Structure 1
C-alpha cells in the first residue's frame, strides 16, 4: 500500500530521519509513537507529499485515497453549516447533484433526447454512489462525534477550535479513504466522543496510522506500533501494552549485548596496549586494531522513562475541608448547567472531574478555582488553603523573552537555582535546555514549563484543566509521578483515561444538574457505570409504563384485558392503513407504466420518488404490524386465552 525505503529527511543541519524503512500494508492499524520532536507529524506530511525527502523514496499504490487529519485544519473557515461542511466529503455526489439540477432546468425549455439521456446517466450514477443517503451518513457521523441536531445547523465559524477539528474529522471519515492518517485525533475530545471514535475505527476496513499520546486509545485500536527514534522507524507487532513489554525485553537483550561488547573491547584494548611495543607482535596488534575499528558498536540503552526525584512541598498544610460548595446554581442563556447543588473537597482528595463536553466540567472547575463569580450559591475555602490554577490559556501568559529557568525564578524566588533545575529536569529540561527562550518552545514544551510553574507554587490545592494536552507519553508519565507523590489536594479535568486511572482516588461527574461523586479510581468508576447503565434505562422505562397505567386501582387481570382491547383496536386501524397503502402503491405502479409519464423526465422523476416513498412507508407499517401482533399474542398468553 505504502512503502518507505531508505528515507532521509533533514531540517537545516538536523537529520530527522536517516535511511528509515517502513511498509504499510492493507488493513494495518498502526500507532506511530515517539518523543516530542521525533518527527511523527513530519513523517505523515512526507507520506501525503507536503514535504519532499532529502533522499530515499515513499511509494504509494496507484489511486490510493488518503484521509489526513492534522492540526492545520483548524485554519479552515466557512460560514456554512457544519452538516454542509461535512458533506463536502462527497465531491462526486455533490457534483452530480448540481449537474442533475442544471439538466432539469434545461428540460423546462429544451426537451431533447440528448438531455434526457444525460439526465438518466447522471441519476443512475448518483444512485449507484448512494447519493440519496449522503445527508443521513453525515448526520450520523456528526452525532457520534457529539454534535446535536441543532449544532449541525450552526455555521462552522461559530465553533471553537476543538469542535471545528471534529467537523474536519467527520469530513475525512465520510470520504471513506483507503488509509487514515490521524495526528492526535482525540485532542479536545470528551470521553464519550473518544469511545465513539474507538468503536468506529475498530470496524474501519482500511489501514490506519495514528499519532496519539492516549495509550488506552492506542490499545483499543492498533495491532502494530512503529516507534520513531533516533532517525529510525522500529516496528512492534502488537498494541501499545505489547510494545512496552517487547521493548523492555529488547532493551534487556541490548543492555546485555552492550555489556558483553564493552568487556570484549576493554580486553582487546589491554592486549593491544600490552604488545604494542613488541616488534614481533606488530602484525597481530595491527590486525586487532583494525578489527576494533571495523566492529559494529552496540549502543547503550537510553532511559526513556525518567523518574521524578524532587518532592513538591508546601509551607503549611490545609485544614480538613479544602473547598465547600453550597447551593450552587449556574446558567447560561438557554442552558442550565448546575441547579442548587453542593459538594465538599477534603484534604488528600485526588478528584477527576469527568463527563461529556457541554455538561459543565470546565464551568464547575472555574467556580472551584474562583475564576468565575457569576453564579448563585457559596464557595467556602477552608483553613490555610493555598491554591494554584493550571489551564491551557496560561501558556499565553508565559513571558516569551524569558529563558525557561528565568520563568521559574521569577515565579518561585524562594527556590534555589539548584532546586529549580532539579524540577525542570523532572519535566525533561536538562543541561543547557533550561536556557532556551520561551518563544522557541513547542506547544508541548510550553505546557511542561507551565506545569512546572504550577507545581513549584507554594500551594496545597491544585486545580488542573486538561494538563495532558500537547504532552507526549513520557511527559504524561512524569506528571503522573509528580501528582502521585504530591501530598496536597487536587481536582483535575482530563480526557486521558490512563492518566486519570493513575492519579485519581475520587470521581466527580455532573448528572441531572447535580454534582455526583464516586469514591474510587477511574477504572472502578467505569465498571460501576457499565453495571449501572442498564438499571438506569430500566428505571426510565418503568417510569414511562407507570405513567400510562390508569390511576384507579385495578387487578392485574383487568389491566391485561384493557391493554389487549387497546392493542386489538390499534391492529385493526393499522390493517386498514396497510390496505390503503397497498392501493396507493398499485396506482403508482400503473402511473409508472403510463407512456405520458415515462417519456417525461420530470414527471418520471416525481412518480419514482412517490413510489419509493410509498414502498418505504408500506414496509415500515408491515414491521409495526408484526411487532403489534407479537405483543397481542403475549398478552393473550398472560390472560390465558
Structure 2
C-alpha cells in the first residue's frame, strides 16, 4: 500500500530520520508513537507529500486515496453550515446534484430526448454513488462526534477551534479513504466522542495510521505499533499494551547481550594486557586486539522511562473536609449546569471529574477554585491551600524567563538542586533548564506549567486537562507524580489511562446534580455499561403477594445451599470458557504477529475476524463471571 524505503530527512545538521524503513499494508491499523520531537507529524507530512525527503523514497499506488487529519486544519474558515462543510467530502455527488438541478430547470422549457437521456445518466450515476443518502451519512457522523441537530445547521465560523477540528474529522471520515492518517484525533474530543470514534475506526475497512498519546485509545483501535526513535522506525505486531511488553522483553535481551559482551571485552582486555609485554605472545595479543576492533558492539539500553525522584512538600495538612459544595446552582443563558447540588471533597480524595463537553466540568472546577460566580455555597476547609492548573495558565508563563528561572521565581523555598530534580523528572535535563520559555513547544510549556503547579505549597490540586500536548512519556511522569502526591486533588481529563491509574473516586454531572462513583475509572466504566444495559425501559410493577404455606425451619437454608451449588457450577463452566477464549485470543494475536500473514489477505481477514469475535466474546463472558461472582458473594454473606 505504502512503502517507505531508506527514508532520510534532515533539519539543518540534525537527521530526524536516518535510512528508516516501514511498509504499510492493507488493513493495518497502526499507532505511530514516540517522544515529542521524534518526527511523527513530519512523517505524516512526508507521506502526503507536504514535505520532501532528503534521501530514500516513499512509494504508493497513484490511485491511493488518503484522508489526512492534521492540526493545520484548525485554520479552515467558512460561513457555511457545518453540515454543508462536512458534505463537501462528497465531491462527485455534489457535482452531479448541481448538474441534475440544471437539467431539471432546462426541462421546464426543453423536452428533447437528448436532455432526458442526459438526466437519466446523471441520476443513475448519482444513485450508484449513493447520492440520496449522503446527507444522512453526514448527519450520522456529526452526531457521533457530539453535534446536535441544531448545531449542524450553524455556520462553522461560530465554533471554537476544537469543534472545527471535529467537523474536519467528520469530512475526512465521510470521504471513505483507503488509508486514514490521523494526527492526535482525540485532542479535541470528549469521552463520549472518543468512544464513538473508537467504534468507528474498529469497523473501518481501510488502513489507519494514528499519532496519539492516548494509550487506552490505541489499545482499542490498533493492531500494530510503530515507534519513531533515534531516526529509525521499529514495528511491533500488537496494540500498545503488547508493545510495552514486547519492548520490555527485547530490552531485557539487549541488556543481557550488552552485559555478556562487556564481560567478554574485559576478559579479552585482561588477556591482552597480560601477554602484550611478552615477545613470545605478542602475535597472540595482536590477534585479540584485532578481534576486539572488529567486534560488533551491542549498545546498552537507554532508559526512556524516567522516574519521578522528588517528594512533594506542603507546610500544612488540610482538615478532613477539603471542599463542601452546598445547594449549588449554575446556569448560562442557553444551558443549566447545576441545580441545587451538593457534594463533599474529603482529605485524600483523588477525584476524576468526567463527562461530555458542555456538561460543566470546567465550570465546576472554576467554582471549586473560586474563579466562577454561582448560587449556593462553596466552603473551603481548615488549612486548605490550593493550586489551579488550566491550559490558559500556559499564557501566564514569563516568556523571557529561562525554565529554571520560572520555577525559582515561583517556588523560592526550593533549592536549585531540588528544582533541577523536578525539571529532570519532567524531561528538562542538562542545558535544557536554561532554554527561554518563548522557544519551547506547546508540550514543553505544558510540562513547565505542571512542574510549577506541583512545586506549589499546596495540599489540594485542581487540574483541568493537564495531559493536553503531553506525549505518552510525559503522561507517565504525571501519573507517577500524582500517585506520590499525599494531598487531595480533582482532575478533568479525557486520558482514560491516566484517570484509571490515579483516581479513587469518579464524579460526573447527571440531571444537573454532582454524582459520585466510589472506585476506579475502569470499575466505573464497567458499572456504567451494566447500568445502561440493565436499566428497565419502563417501570416494573411489584410482584403480587401470594399466600404461601409456612416454610419449615431448615427449608430456607436448603434452598440457599442448592442455589449456591448451582451458581458455583455455572461459575466453573464460565471459567473454563474464559480459559478457552483467552487461548483463542492469544493464538490469533500470534498469527497476526507473523509477517507472512500480510501477504494473504483472505487469511488475514479470517484471522482478524476470529480475533475480534473471540475478544468480544471474552469481554462478555468475563462480565457474566463478575455478575455470578457478585451473586455468590451476596448469598455467602
TM-score range (shorter-chain normalised) is 0.7 to 0.9
User: What runs of 5+ residues in structure 2 fail to find an aligned partner?
Assistant: 543-637
Correspondence 1:324-473 to 2 at 5 A = 324-373=324-373, 375-473=374-472
For residues 329 and 538 of structure 2, what CA distance do their matches in structure 1 show?
Answer: 29
Give the structure 2 partner of residue 604 of structure 1: none
For residues 235 and 472 of structure 2, what CA distance do their matches in structure 1 show?
Answer: 18
Give the structure 1 partner of residue 508 of structure 2: 509
For residues 64 and 278 of structure 2, what CA distance do their matches in structure 1 show?
Answer: 67
CA-CA distance at 1:336 after TM superposition: 0.8
CA-CA distance at 1:414 after TM superposition: 1.2
Give the structure 2 partner of residue 157 of structure 1: 157
CA-CA distance at 1:343 after TM superposition: 0.6
Q: Which moved more, 1:282-291 or 1:174-183?
A: 282-291
For residues 473 and 238 of structure 1, what CA distance do their matches in structure 2 show?
Answer: 17
For residues 212 and 428 of structure 2, what CA distance do their matches in structure 1 show?
Answer: 22
Structure 1 residue 542 corresponds to structure 2 residue 539? yes
* SS of residue matched to 1:541: coil
For residues 391 and 218 of structure 1, what CA distance do their matches in structure 2 show?
Answer: 25
Give the structure 2 partner of residue 487 of structure 1: 486
CA-CA distance at 1:542 after TM superposition: 2.3
CA-CA distance at 1:344 after TM superposition: 0.8
CA-CA distance at 1:159 after TM superposition: 1.1
Structure 1 residue 299 corresponds to structure 2 residue 299? yes
For residues 114 and 293 of structure 1, what CA distance do their matches in structure 2 show?
Answer: 83
Post-superposition Cα deviations, 1:313-355, rounded to whole Å, max 9, x if no partner, equal 1011111111111111111112111101111111111110001
Q: How many residues align?
A: 542
Structure 1 residue 24 corresponds to structure 2 residue 21? no
Give the structure 2 partner of residue 254 of structure 1: 254
* SS of residue matched to 1:469: coil
For residues 147 and 135 of structure 2, what CA distance do their matches in structure 1 show?
Answer: 14
CA-CA distance at 1:282 after TM superposition: 4.8
* SS of residue matched to 1:148: coil
Give the structure 2 partner of residue 636 of structure 1: none
For residues 232 and 295 of structure 1, what CA distance do their matches in structure 2 show?
Answer: 23
Post-superposition Cα deviations, 1:563-584, rounded to whole Å, max 9, x if no partner, equal xxxxxxxxxxxxxxxxxxxxxx
For residues 529 and 518 of structure 1, what CA distance do their matches in structure 2 show?
Answer: 10
CA-CA distance at 1:105 after TM superposition: 2.4
Give the structure 2 partner of residue 268 of structure 1: 268
For residues 503 and 356 of structure 1, what CA distance do their matches in structure 2 show?
Answer: 20
Structure 1 residue 289 corresponds to structure 2 residue 286? no
Give the structure 1 partner of residue 518 of structure 2: 519
Give the structure 2 partner of residue 104 of structure 1: 104
Give the structure 2 partner of residue 633 of structure 1: none
For residues 281 and 98 of structure 1, what CA distance do their matches in structure 2 show?
Answer: 92
Q: Which moved more, 1:121-130 or 1:271-280?
A: 271-280
CA-CA distance at 1:413 after TM superposition: 1.1
CA-CA distance at 1:23 after TM superposition: 0.5
CA-CA distance at 1:389 after TM superposition: 0.4
CA-CA distance at 1:281 after TM superposition: 4.6
Give the structure 2 partner of residue 78 of structure 1: 78
For residues 184 and 541 of structure 1, what CA distance do their matches in structure 2 show?
Answer: 41
Post-superposition Cα deviations, 1:454-505, rounded to whole Å, max 9, x if no partner, equal 0000011100000011111111111011111101111000111110011111
Post-superposition Cα deviations, 1:229-288, rounded to whole Å, max 9, x if no partner, equal 111111111111111111111001000111111122222333333444455555444443
Q: Which moved more, 1:362-371 or 1:275-284?
A: 275-284
Correspondence 1:617-636 to 2 at 5 A = none
* SS of residue matched to 1:452: helix
Q: Which moved more, 1:7-16 or 1:110-119?
A: 110-119
Structure 1 residue 173 corresponds to structure 2 residue 173? yes
Give the structure 2 partner of residue 533 of structure 1: 532
Distance 1:510 1:271, change over 3 A: same
* SS of residue matched to 1:542: coil
For residues 379 and 435 of structure 1, what CA distance do their matches in structure 2 show?
Answer: 41
User: What runs of 5+ residues in structure 1 fail to find an aligned partner?
Assistant: 547-641
* SS of residue matched to 1:316: coil
For residues 47 and 534 of structure 1, what CA distance do their matches in structure 2 show?
Answer: 43
Give the structure 2 partner of residue 218 of structure 1: 218
* SS of residue matched to 2:383: coil
Give the structure 2 partner of residue 116 of structure 1: 116
TM-score (normalised: structure 2): 0.83
For residues 80 and 193 of structure 2, what CA distance do their matches in structure 1 show?
Answer: 23
Give the structure 2 partner of residue 147 of structure 1: 147
For residues 531 and 120 of structure 2, what CA distance do their matches in structure 1 show?
Answer: 54
Highest Rg: 1 or 2?
A: 1
